[in-house]
């Protein structure tokens, strides 16, 4: 079995890069425990949200799944990323999902 690439969708408005990385630590540990790795989507050199969203959508092309962190449904960029997943069939994992194998159809 190969390691799955997972895109992390995370509300980032009004957060520092350090806060964003700290919030992701637990998610990344969860991914590693489930034979997945993070697709890095933190753009430290550009603060324009539309640019970051466009780059994030590009990264999603290489995703086997997407993990949506708490509050995604109130963040514009996350809502659009969620729509991309739904429309293009990228499996979605919601924070605190209990049955990861069923979501990803793993045996």
- Per-residue HEC secondary structure of the chain comes to CCCEEEEEECCCCCCCHHHHHHHHHHHHHHHHHCCEEEECCCCCCCCCHHHHHHHHHHHHCCCCEEEECCCHHHCHHHHHHHHHHHHHCCCEEECCCCCHHHHCCCC
- What pLDDT, in 10s, does the model give residues 29-86? 999 999 999 998 988 776 788 999 999 999 999 999 999 999 999 999 999 999 999 9
Q: pTM of this prediction?
A: 0.87
- What pLDDT, in 10s, does the model give residues 6-33? 999 999 999 988 999 999 999 999 999 9
């Amino acid at each position: 079995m190969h390691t799955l690439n997972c895109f992390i969708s995370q509300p980032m408005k009004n957060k520092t890069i350090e806060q964003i990385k700290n919030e992701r630590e637990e998610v990344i540990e969860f991914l590693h425990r489930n034979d997945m790795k993070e697709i890095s989507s933190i753009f430290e050199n550009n603060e324009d949200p539309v640019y970051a969203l466009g780059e994030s959508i590009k990264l999603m092309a290489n995703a086997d799944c997407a993990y949506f962190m708490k509050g995604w449904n109130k963040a514009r960029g996350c809502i659009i990323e969620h729509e991309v997943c739904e429309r293009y069939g990228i499996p979605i994992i919601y924070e605190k999902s209990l049955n990861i194998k069923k979501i990803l159809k793993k045996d």
